[in-house]
Amino acid sequence: MSKNAPIAASPDLPWTEGLSYHQAVKAGELVFTAGQGGFKADGSLDNDFESQARQALANVEAALKVFGADLQSAVKLTVFLVDADDYGTFKELREELFDEPYPASTLLLGTPVFPEMLIEVEAVASLAGPRQAL
């Protein structure tokens, strides 16, 4: 296997068993996560947006940690919301959980595969060192 070949892994979450994709893939010094909803380890979802958002970001971090990354090494977030009114809450949460400079971020509105989901987050992290921003 070459040094730059992708390496894939999944955190030990019971509900991920049998999925046809991995929760995280490492390619060189970058770690990519699959989209993470606010699912708890038992597969359940809380009903409120903030709880789901916190759990989704915790799931992103769990996926990143498989390869030695964490939220502070994230350089790019893609966030899918069901309701645009939840953006303010997500923005506050992002400011709480991420240090400056914040990762680049894209926010989209969409309809989730699971109707109970209120948010999905995916991330790209760098193992090469701290974030830098313009």
Q: What is the pLDDT of residues 99-119, one digit of tens each?
A: 999 999 999 999 988 899 999
pLDDT for 61: 95
Distance between CA atoms of residues 102 and 110, nearest Å: 23
Domain boundaries, the chain: 7-126
At 23, the pLDDT band (50, 70, 90 cuts) reads confident
- CATH code linked to domain 7-126: 3.30.1330.40
Tell me the whole-structure pTM to 2 decimals. Answer: 0.89
